[in-house]
Amino acid sequence: MTFTVYPAVDIADGKCVRLLQGRFGTETVYSDDPVKVAIGLSKAGARWLHIVDLDGAKTGVSANREMVLEVVARASCPVQAGGGLRGIDDVVEVLAAGANRAVLGTTALEDPAELRRACGRFGERIAVSLDARGDELTSHGWTVGAGVPLLDAVRIFADAGAARFIYTDVVRDGTMSGPNLHGLSRLAAETTLPVIASGGVGNLAELRAVAGLHGTGVEGVIVGRALYEGKFTVIEAVRAGDEASSGERAAAPPPEH
Amino acid sequence: MLDYGMGNLRSVAKALEAAGADVVVTSSSAELDRSVALCVPGQGIFGRCMANLAAAEQDDLIRGWIDDQRPYLGICLGMQILFDSSEEQRGGASCTGLSIFPGVVRRLRGDVRIPHMGWNEVNDEHYYFDHSYAVRPRDDSLVSGWCWHGERFAASIRSGSVTAVQFHPEKSATAGLTLLSDWTAALEEAAV
Q: Is A73 helix (H, G, I), strand (E, B) or coil?
A: helix
Do residue B171 and residue A75 have CB atoms under 8 angstroms apart? yes
Question: Residue B62 is part of which domain span?
Answer: 9-191
B17 touches chain A (CB under 8 A): no
Q: Is residue B63 part of a domain?
A: yes
Q: Is residue B39 part of a domain?
A: yes
Indicate which residues of A carry an active-site annotation: 10, 131
pLDDT given at position A250: 44
Do residue A76 and residue B117 have CB atoms under 8 angstroms apart? no
pLDDT given at position A251: 45
Q: List for chain A the helix, strand, coil content (%; round to 5).
A: 40, 25, 35
Q: Is residue B127 part of a domain?
A: yes
B115 touches chain A (CB under 8 A): yes
Contact between A76 and B170 under an 8 Å Cβ cutoff? The reply is yes
User: What is the ipTM for the molecules in this complex?
Assistant: 0.90
- This prediction has a pTM of 0.92
pLDDT given at position A22: 87
Burial of B144 (0-12, 13-18, 19+ CB in 10 A): middle
Q: Is residue B1 part of a domain?
A: no
Q: Which residues of chain B have pLDDT under 50?
A: none
Q: Is residue B3 part of a domain?
A: no
Contact list in A for residue B119 (CB cut-off 8 A) is 2, 47
Q: What angle do CA A172, A177, A183 make, to 5 degrees?
A: 50
B142 touches chain A (CB under 8 A): no
CATH code, B164:
3.40.50.880
Q: Is residue B4 part of a domain?
A: no
Amino acid identity, residue A71? V
> How many domains does the structure of chain B reveal?
1
pLDDT given at position A231: 97
Do residue A47 and residue B115 have CB atoms under 8 angstroms apart? no
Distance CA(A221)–CA(A212), nearest Å, equals 11
Q: Is residue B148 part of a domain?
A: yes
Amino acid identity, residue B49? C
Do residue B11 and residue A1 have CB atoms under 8 angstroms apart? no
A76 touches chain B (CB under 8 A): yes
A97 touches chain B (CB under 8 A): yes
* Dihedral-angle region of residue A161 (phi above 0 means left; psi in -120 to 50 means alpha; beta otherwise): left
Concerning whether B170 is annotated as a catalytic residue, the answer is yes
Give the active site residue among B76, B88, B95, B147.
Answer: B76
Do residue A77 and residue B7 have CB atoms under 8 angstroms apart? no
pLDDT given at position B92: 56
Q: What is the DSSP letter of A160?
A: H
Find all residues with CB under 8 Å of B164, minimum gap 6, and list them: B72, B73, B74, B75, B78, B79, B82, B156, B157, B158
Q: Which residues of chain A have pLDDT under 70?
A: 1, 247-257
pLDDT given at position A185: 96
